[in-house]
Amino acid sequence: MSNPLSRRTFVKHATIGVSAAMTATSVARGYPANEKVQLGWIGIGGRGTHLMKKMVKVCPDARTAAVCDLKPDRIEVGKTIAERDKPTGYTNMHEMMEKEKLDGILIATEPNNHAPVVVPVLEAGYHTFAEKPMDTIVERVDAIVKAARKAKGFYQIGTQRRYHPGYRASIPVIHSGQYGKVTFLQGHWHWKHQVGDMPGEPDGWSLTEQSPHHMDVMAWVMKEQHPVLCASMGYNQLGHPPATHRESHSATIFKFANGVVFSYTHLFGLTQHFVSEKLWAFCEKAGFDLREGMLYDRKDDSEKRVAVSTGPGWDMGTGEELRDFVDNIKTGGKRIPNANVETGRICTLMCLLGRQAMIDFGKNAFEPRLVKWEDLGSTT
């Protein structure tokens, strides 16, 4: 996979992270072609089990050596999924890292518990795959960024569209400049179910939990720029305040330094007719439907397929990202992942910026306002 960022960009401004709980015994090394990569898993909930099933299917040269979760029943689920590898189960991640000779660790805990797990794993030197978002609080996002920038192992975030064949084919066409500059971005993610209705979803899929995928694509289109301004309005249709349940409806607008605007809606509780996912990029000479892989030329209103359509394949890119994680470990972990600390930082902070623009956390009320990027207070 090609690298969107240089090594210099990846390691710039390295700072001291949270202190590591221990030092890994076997990390950041290359692998002979016939030797299996030894993996540990932390967090065997809904997303964790999905990733593990996919890993077993697409990565025969990777072995699940250990599974860790606070809930014993989930450990048993993980051991069953990876039965061929006979993994050891743990309820304590520090014990797992002390006892197992692991080369990489995959983390799929709940979003607000990412940093407390990811930072010690990175500081112990392991190659690390962690699900999006980086975390749900700016300070904890910064902690991961600082740890990842100075880590011996690489950090990969689970924004799988960076590995999706459709996006990887269409976005370079935009970047080529043959259709002029980007002029406007538009997207939405509209769902039938209501927030809090899905199993294992106690807080609902807010802008922070679900939308990093889309923020990541648009930051990618903008060549890894972050927006400078954000305005957002949101509310919960059931009348719950933000601390009880997340927003069920939101409309968020980002403005980039070059004036390009990204308009985005995130809605739940709709009829099936309105359930859809859209990611559109408008250029001076053409418009791109990134999800469908289509280009629409302004000159003659012609249309052309430039990439494979996602269609119902919402999970496209997941197998590729896991395959790349293992391959990178096998070759010594020297390559910066497509979805890395810098891309993950931008898309996560974009989501937190949107939430900050729609909510007054002091009042625990949905109150919209205009927020600047620097208002986030990020130290990275």
Cβ-Cβ contacts under 8 Å for 12 (sequence gap 6 or more): 149
| Separation between Cα atoms, residue 248 and residue 361, nearest integer Å | 17
What mean pLDDT do residues 275-290 have? 97
Asked if 335 contacts 328 with a C-beta cutoff of 8 angstroms, the reply is: yes
pLDDT, tens digit, 9 for 90 and up, residues 185-238: 999 999 998 876 554 444 456 889 889 999 999 999 999 999 999 999 999 888
| Separation between Cα atoms, residue 338 and residue 159, nearest integer Å | 9
Indicate yes or no: pTM above 0.85: yes
| Separation between Cα atoms, residue 163 and residue 2, nearest integer Å | 10
What's the confidence (pLDDT) of residue 205? 66
Asked whether this chain's domains 7-161+319-340 and 165-311+347-376 adopt the same fold, the reply is: no
Residue 317, SS3 per DSSP: coil
pLDDT, tens digit, 9 for 90 and up, residues 248-259: 999 999 999 999
| Separation between Cα atoms, residue 71 and residue 10, nearest integer Å | 35
Least confident of 104-118, 138-152, 183-197, 286-300: 183-197
Looking at the domain 7-161+319-340, which fold is it? Rossmann fold (3.40.50)
Q: What is the dihedral sign for C-alpha 223, 133, 154, 35?
A: negative
Looking at the domain 165-311+347-376, which fold is it? Dihydrodipicolinate Reductase; domain 2 (3.30.360)
Sequence spans of domains, the chain: 7-161+319-340, 165-311+347-376
What's the confidence (pLDDT) of residue 194? 82
Asked if 230 contacts 215 with a C-beta cutoff of 8 angstroms, the reply is: no
What mean pLDDT do residues 174-193 have? 96
Does residue 300 surpass a pLDDT of 70?
yes
> Residue type for 185, please?
L
| Separation between Cα atoms, residue 136 and residue 143, nearest integer Å | 12
What mean pLDDT do residues 155-182 have? 97
What's the confidence (pLDDT) of residue 237? 87
Using a pLDDT cut of 70, give the percent of the chain over it.
88
Record the tokens describing residue 23, joined without a space: 């030092």
Higher pLDDT, 49 or 27: 49
Question: How are beta strands 127-130 and 104-107 bridged, if at all?
Answer: parallel
| Separation between Cα atoms, residue 183 and residue 347, nearest integer Å | 20
Asked if 195 contacts 266 with a C-beta cutoff of 8 angstroms, the reply is: no
Does residue 309 surpass a pLDDT of 70?
yes
pLDDT, tens digit, 9 for 90 and up, residues 92-128: 999 999 999 999 999 999 998 999 999 999 999 999 9
Asked if 367 contacts 359 with a C-beta cutoff of 8 angstroms, the reply is: yes
What's the confidence (pLDDT) of residue 316? 87
What's the confidence (pLDDT) of residue 245? 66
What's the confidence (pLDDT) of residue 30? 57
What's the confidence (pLDDT) of residue 315? 83
Least confident of 19-33, 141-155, 286-300: 19-33
What's the confidence (pLDDT) of residue 204? 52
| Residues 126, 129, 133, 139, Cα dihedral to 10° | 10
Q: Please report where in the chains the tokens 């030329």 appear, as a residue.
A: 297
Higher pLDDT, 138 or 204: 138
Using a pLDDT cut of 90, give the percent of the chain over it.
80
| Separation between Cα atoms, residue 37 and residue 104, nearest integer Å | 8
What's the confidence (pLDDT) of residue 32? 63
| Separation between Cα atoms, residue 315 and residue 376, nearest integer Å | 31
SS3 content of the chain, % helix, strand, coil (to 5): 35, 20, 45
Bond prior to 133 in cis (omega within 30° of 0): yes
How many other C-beta atoms can be found within 10 angstroms of the C-beta atom of residue 273?
Answer: 8
Asked if 332 contacts 30 with a C-beta cutoff of 8 angstroms, the reply is: yes
What's the confidence (pLDDT) of residue 26? 44
